[in-house]
Chains A and B, each alone.
Chain A
């Protein structure tokens, strides 16, 4: 199975400042179809997860443009250009390249200073 490692596990950010988090995969997530199946989710406290980014860098409709995803192969990054209070929660990356199973990273917890 593909293992995803996320760093840091916890991040404390001042509102209006940027935030960045990493997701590293044990294998390349580039599929033979040319797509890279790396996704980012945010789970706010007491809520279901919500999909933010699909295939590395594509924002789901309605996701603010302060969220951006980048990376390739085994190394990926989610950046928030200016953190807002509503961005607090746990961010998970997930791979869909080698399935089953889909696998999630352990999460990065973001809170506000």
Chain B
């Protein structure tokens, strides 16, 4: 399973770091993805991290202000998003992707972290 904090609240211009802690499988064997969902909207892929190497791939629109990292010692991944605006208010999900170097679907999801950006 993947465990995330329930909520984070930030002011515009601030940054947020969302954690995702994995258990029940070998963390280093699978990609870890981040997907967000604005209120009443669809799913938006943000990027993924190769948990073995730390290599990342990001959706282009987030490139300038996103960072994904992981700590294999605690089987955790992190999403760092900076320069927040109200448009970043959304539920942020982490999801397990396919085994490394495959294109598998996202078969395990965290319960989501609601990030609210408001002054």
Contact = CB atoms under 8 A, between A and B. Distances in A.
Interface of A: 31, 35, 37, 39, 41, 43, 48-51, 54, 60, 90, 92, 94, 96-97, 99-107
Contacts of A94: 43, 105-106
Contacts of B57: 99-100
B104 A104 contact: no
Contact of A51 (B42, B44, B93, B105): B105
B104 A100 contact: no
Nearest to A106: B42
Interface size class of B (residues with CB under 8 A): 20 to 34
Interface of B: 33, 35, 42-45, 47-48, 57-60, 93, 95, 103-107, 109-112
Given A48-B93, A49-B109, A100-B47, A35 B42 contact: no
Contact of B110 (A41, A48, A90): A48
B112 A104 contact: no
A76 to B, nearest CB: 14
A48 B58 CA distance: 21
B33 A102 contact: yes
A48 B109 contact: yes
Nearest to A49: B109
Nearest to B94: A48
A102 B45 contact: yes
A49 B106 CA distance: 9
A39 B105 contact: yes
